[in-house]
Amino acid sequence: MELGRRARSVTSLEYSHKFCVDLRLKIGAQNVVQGDAAILPFASGAFTAAIAVLVLHHLRSVEAQDRAFAEIYRVLEPGGVFVALEVDDGWLTRVAHFRSTLVALAPKSAEERVRAAGFSKIELTSRSGGFRLRAERS
């Protein structure tokens, strides 16, 4: 390791306790943590990046999503990057989530809400079926 560079690792946050335990056993990773994206169990400034892949629409309310944005901002170090991949709100998405939580996240709304949480340099890329949001902690 070079001087001035710190070792990097990946930490996975899983909402389901059972899935978390199963994942730890399956891959032997101890950096799989059970928790809620709206109440992150990590120290402030602990991460250089945070990625949420098809996570945000599973949070139970708009308020929980906003708490997650604030929490992600808190656990990122200054200059840290947040990337989210989300699905569009359409009939197919609603059918696929028939027995699951779906609090749809509109791209424009997401951009405004991460800005309200303190993020800057926000980029939004829409594609058929979903969008990518990238933002930096100021």
For 3, the domain range is 1-35
Please indicate, yes or no, whether residues 84 and 126 belong to a single structural domain of this protein: yes
Q: Is the pLDDT of residue 68 over 80?
A: yes
| Contacts of the segment 126-129: beta carbons below 8 A, 24+ positions apart | 129/87, 129/88
Q: Is the pLDDT of residue 11 over 60?
A: yes
Backbone angles phi, psi at 132, to 5 degrees: -120, 135
**Residue range 94-136, pLDDT digits in tens:** 677 678 787 778 888 999 999 999 999 999 999 888 999 999 9
Domain membership of residue 41 (yes or no) is no
Please indicate, yes or no, whether residues 124 and 69 belong to a single structural domain of this protein: yes
Residue-level pLDDT at 10: 77
- Beta partners for residue 127, in sequence order: 130
Mean pLDDT of the chain: 86
Assign residue 125 a region: left if phi > 0, alpha if psi is -120 to 50, beta otherwise?
beta
Structural domain total, the chain: 2
